[in-house]
């Protein structure tokens, strides 16, 4: 990569990890933009990742707020001292990103996944962490919350915290009889998933999709991806990425489904 990098190229986040490392050694004054809250984890190869994950950590740590910065906007120039500090923060974030093999993309830079709503949810059969085979059609007549996730995905963990609280509240209120939550782990070893489930005491039905076949069937492009399926087996909601307030969203949707 040439050291002659334009601010526009940097701001749009169109750099790989390798390019970012080269950039940090040039002393080039740049302006960075952090991704929005709730960005999903893309299912691409680690080598294709952008620098946005590192920038997200840097954005939090130095309290920098980058807003309204676009391709035509002038870059913000930092002093060399501030640039060195920012470079260290970004590099630490990139190291974490490589460790978790995860990257964050802006929606405009990738293809959106998901199946269309009001279409039949494809049936599938997968083993749970105990080895029991589970079919989606086994739950016909109930509202199914179907989440695709991975242990290395930070937004997935954040979503699970809220889903766990939501599920416990519904069970205590006696409102869980017609609901089931299926958490499909994508492309990970069963032992890794089982250890994660036991450590975090997840109360969901956790299913294993080690080859990613069901994920592809449901056009999962990023994690977490969540579907809501009505009692007749139709998709009524699709959500990509974690969005705080998920429990309230599910409550409103389920109330509507129960009134049908």
3-state secondary structure 175-224: CCCCEEEEEEEECCCHHHHHHHHHHHCCCCEEEEECCCHHHHHCCCCEEC
d(CA 223, CA 211): 15
pLDDT > 50? residue 246: yes
Confidence (pLDDT) at 26: 42
Q: What is the mean pLDDT of the chain?
A: 74
State mean pLDDT over 80-107. 55
184 vs 72, more confident: 184
Identify the pLDDT of residue 59. 40
pLDDT-derived band of residue 90, with 50, 70 and 90 as boundaries? low
For 7, how many CA atoms within 13 A lie in the half-sphere containing its CB? Answer: 15
Q: What is the pLDDT of residue 260?
A: 82
CB 127 within 8 A of CB 133: yes
CA diameter of the chain: 63
Poorest-pLDDT segment among 27-36, 130-139, 171-180: 27-36
Q: What percent of the chain has pLDDT over 70?
A: 58
The whole-number pLDDT of residue 41 equals: 74
Query: Where exactly are the structural domains of the chain?
Result: 7-108, 113-258
Determine the pLDDT at residue 251: 96
Model confidence pLDDT, tens digit, residues 141-151: 999 999 999 99
Between 218 and 54, the more confident residue is 218
Residue 65 has pLDDT above 60, yes or no: no
- Chosen CATH of 113-258 out of 3.90.1150.10, 2.40.50.140, 3.40.30.10, 3.10.129.10: 3.40.30.10
Is the pLDDT at 231 greater than 90? The verdict is yes
The pLDDT, as a whole number, for residue 47 is 35
Long-range contacts of 1-10 (CB under 8 A, 24+ apart): 3/28, 5/30, 7/31, 7/74, 7/75, 8/71, 8/72, 10/75
User: What is the mean predicted confidence (pLDDT) over 252-256?
Assistant: 96
pLDDT above 70: residue 123: yes
Q: Does the pLDDT value for residue 167 go beyond 80?
A: yes
pLDDT at position 40 is: 72
Specify the higher pLDDT residue, 181 or 6.
181
Contact 222, 240 (CB under 8 A): yes
CB 57, CB 169: distance < 8 Å: no
| pLDDT at residue 83, as a whole number | 65
């Amino acid at each position: 990569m040439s050291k002659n990098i334009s601010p526009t190229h940097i701001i749009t986040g169109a750099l790989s990890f390798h390019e970012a490392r080269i950039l940090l050694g040039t002393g080039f004054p740049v302006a960075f933009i952090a991704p929005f809250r709730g960005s999903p984890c893309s299912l691409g190869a680690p080598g294709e990742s952008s620098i946005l994950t590192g920038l997200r950590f840097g954005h939090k740590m130095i309290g920098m707020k980058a807003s309204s910065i676009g391709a035509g906007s002038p870059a913000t120039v930092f002093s060399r001292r501030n640039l060195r500090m920012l470079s260290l923060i970004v590099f630490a974030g990139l190291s974490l990103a490589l460790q978790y093999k995860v990257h964050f993309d802006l929606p405009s830079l990738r293809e959106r996944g998901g199946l269309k709503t009001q279409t039949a949810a494809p049936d599938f059969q997968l083993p749970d962490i105990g080895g029991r085979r589970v079919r989606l059609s086994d739950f016909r007549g109930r509202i199914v919350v179907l989440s695709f996730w991975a242990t290395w995905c930070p937004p997935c963990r954040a979503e699970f915290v809220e889903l766990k609280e939501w599920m416990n509240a519904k069970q205590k209120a006696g409102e869980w009889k017609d609901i089931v939550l299926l958490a499909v782990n994508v492309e990970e070893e069963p032992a890794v998933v089982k250890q994660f489930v036991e450590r975090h005491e997840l109360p969901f039905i956790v299913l294993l999709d080690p080859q990613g076949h069901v994920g592809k069937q449901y056009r999962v492009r990023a994690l977490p991806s969540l579907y809501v399926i009505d009692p007749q087996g139709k998709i009524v909601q699709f959500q990509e990425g974690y969005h705080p307030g998920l429990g309230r969203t599910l409550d409103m949707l389920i109330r509507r489904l129960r009134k049908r």
